[in-house]
Structure 1
Amino acid sequence: MAEFLTIGEPMAVFASSNIDKNLEDATDFTKFVAGAELNVAIGISRLGHRTEYISSVGQDPFGKFIRKSMTAAGVGNTYVSEDVDHWTGFYLKERVSHGDPATFYFRRNSAAANFDANILDSIDFSDVQIAHLSGIFAALSDNDLAVLKRLSQHLKQNGKFITFDPNLRPALWESQAHMVATTNELAKNADLVMPGIHEGEILMGSSNPQKIADFYLNQSQTTQTVIVKLGPKGAYIKQKNGNAQTIPGFHVKNVVDTVGAGDGFAVGLISGLLDGLPINKAARRGCAIGALAVMSPGDNDGYPTSDELNSYLQNQQITE
């Protein structure tokens, strides 16, 4: 049975191989599997933990590709349904030498956006230790927002630990005001919230890590820990008891693709908690996997196995 559970929209991504060419002019692409929550499930599975992923795909080549990729990665797909009436989402991604690549999505009215809420009634929560939720699934449709709220209730009723990543996708929301209000409301149900520093500025009006952490700690009795992702600078941790610290990041000489770095942080953090690490060491693992993620072109191709992670940490003269 799964130790880790998440829900999201799986997609195929066509990543350009043409450096610094816009998507209109790029001609060479490589297909990968993607989707923020699926990235996290793949990374945690790669580190030896049992995972289950909840979603829906279309009966099309992309849906088949995603299912095969999940099986190859060891991610459970017991709760992934096939939708005969809707297609599987996909997107295009630039290759850039500096900064974040541009992306273009084809996901409106996808299979995942029409997820059947009845599937939630079949989920076995008995062995789940941590569930990871994201603001992306809520943005896909009113149906999926209701599904996410219902799943969150099931998890709390079963006493499960919830992590929440805002993962803001403004293009998917009807307005920024709705995105902010809904995302912050969803965060109230999480034991641990992990916004990025730029997301904090959008969601509560400040880029100060301490103020961001205080906002989420103060808005909910449930939230006990906030970790603000600082990009290459690392992560800021603050807990309900007042303990706070900054975890330094890892230097990367050659950044290939920044997409997937935040999900890589979640992989390291959650896998560390599953392994019984204290929060500071789990966050440090998150920073390490975030650094490894930006060295590869796929959204999750840079996520390491346990041996690869240990080798990287040893090279950085860090022991867990």
Structure 2
Amino acid sequence: MKELDVVTFGEAMAMFMASHLGPLHEVSQFTRELAGAETNVAIGLARLGLRSGWASKVGDDAFGRFIMERLKNENVDTGHVITDNQYPTGFQLKSVVTSGDPEVQYFRKGSAASHLWIGDFDEHYFKRARHLHMTGIPLALSDSARSFAKHTLAFMKQNGKKISFDPNLRPTLWNTEEEMVREINEAAFQADYVLPGIAEGETLTGFQQPRDIASFYLNQGVEAVIIKLGAGGAYFKSRTEEGCIPGFHVDKVVDTVGAGDGFAVGVISGLLEGLSIGEAVLRGNAIGSRAVQFPGDNDGYPTKIELEDYIKRNLEGVNEHESNPC
């Protein structure tokens, strides 16, 4: 079995994107795509030439087969994906908007992925990877999925693997905000790299300034914290350095969904290739800015050649005119 650069896990869904503007209940035509924070990251890394794997469960249905075929076409390793003949694959509907965030409705309750449990864990598969990327979503899907996530996190840490963690808060999936904050932070404290958005950081730590949010996690033993600041770029702080990396200028934002996952792709790939944290964050900003210019969640994720060309052409357009939020 081939080694993997990165492994991740979570829920993938079929996504039906509206073909025209309007509220979802008025839309009559949709196009089908793939959705899922972790599959976005796996696809983005694979497009950059890294060996990525995704672990999960899908239903024995058309949606599940669509997901598997799509990931195979993207060169994502699916050797730890279980087909469940009892529970279905989830799906979602997504609107088209001219500005702001689209309307998204989920149909995921009781899905196959939500029935992941510790008994599904394959240590040989995860041990093949040198890096684990995890989001907070599996922690919220169900008690059994949370147990799987915690077991995976502990296993990878015990085996000396590097771990990146994106909180990816989904408040509607949690019973209370207090539970969400407690469980997400418990996982984040075990990671090497924590990648919250600024609003997520405020919710999780109670602090408003990026430096204070980062210090909250560094004091728990995290190696580095990288905070997404939207158009303002990103702030990073490690035990030895800190800085702000401006964002790339975007003339027209088409869809913001998937930008954070694209950012993670840039950061993780950069770190795995030996770039400095600042250089990795610049790459994350580039992919995130490219992602918002496309309608699908991962349509804008580039190949290595496309990424290098995009950075070269747009580096002078970096938003240095933005007020420094750091």
Q: Which runs of 5+ in 1 are unaligned?
A: none
Residues 181-204 of structure 1 deviation map (CA, whole Å, 9 limit, x = unaligned): 111111011001010001112112
For 1:193 and 1:317, the matched residues in 2 are separated by 25
Contact 1:125–1:158 (CA under 8 A) maintained in structure 2: no
Matches within 5 A, 1:59-138: 59-138=60-139
For 1:251 and 1:106, the matched residues in 2 are separated by 35
Q: 1:270 aligns with which of 265, 268, 289?
A: 268
Give % identity: 49
Partner of 1:49: 50
Residues 18-49 of structure 1 deviation map (CA, whole Å, 9 limit, x = unaligned): 22x11111222111111001100000000001
The runs of at least 4 consecutive aligned structure 1 residues that moved more than 4 Å come to none
Secondary structure at the aligned position of 2:203 is classed as helix
For 1:270 and 1:317, the matched residues in 2 are separated by 20
Matches within 5 A, 1:243-262: 243-262=241-260
Secondary structure at the aligned position of 1:110 is classed as coil
Alpha-carbon offset, residue 121 of structure 1: 3.2
Partner of 2:160: 159
Paired AA for residue 226 in structure 1: V
Contact 1:3–1:50 (CA under 8 A) maintained in structure 2: yes
For 1:267 and 1:17, the matched residues in 2 are separated by 28
Secondary structure at the aligned position of 1:255 is classed as coil
Alpha-carbon offset, residue 127 of structure 1: 4.3
Partner of 1:175: 176
Contact 2:248–2:315 (CA under 8 A) maintained in structure 1: no
Alpha-carbon offset, residue 119 of structure 1: 3.0
Partner of 1:13: 15
Paired AA for residue 3 in structure 1: D
Partner of 1:233: 232
For 1:24 and 1:215, the matched residues in 2 are separated by 43
For 1:317 and 1:136, the matched residues in 2 are separated by 33
The answer to whether 1:145 aligns with 2:146 is yes
For 2:47 and 2:12, the matched residues in 1 are separated by 17
The answer to whether 1:295 aligns with 2:297 is no
Alpha-carbon offset, residue 118 of structure 1: 2.4
TM-score by structure 2 length?
0.94
Paired AA for residue 94 in structure 1: S
Figure out how many residues of one structure are paired with residues of the other and give that number: 314
Alpha-carbon offset, residue 211 of structure 1: 1.2
Q: Which segment is superposed worse, 95-104 or 58-67?
A: 95-104
Partner of 2:303: 305
Cα RMSD for the two superposed structures:
1.2
Q: Which runs of 5+ in 2 are unaligned?
A: 317-326
Secondary structure at the aligned position of 1:251 is classed as coil
Paired AA for residue 79 in structure 1: H
Contact 1:48–1:306 (CA under 8 A) maintained in structure 2: yes
TM-score by structure 1 length?
0.96
For 1:24 and 1:110, the matched residues in 2 are separated by 23
Alpha-carbon offset, residue 5 of structure 1: 0.5
The answer to whether 1:4 aligns with 2:16 is no
For 2:223 and 2:109, the matched residues in 1 are separated by 35
Secondary structure at the aligned position of 2:129 is classed as coil
Contact 2:80–2:125 (CA under 8 A) maintained in structure 1: no
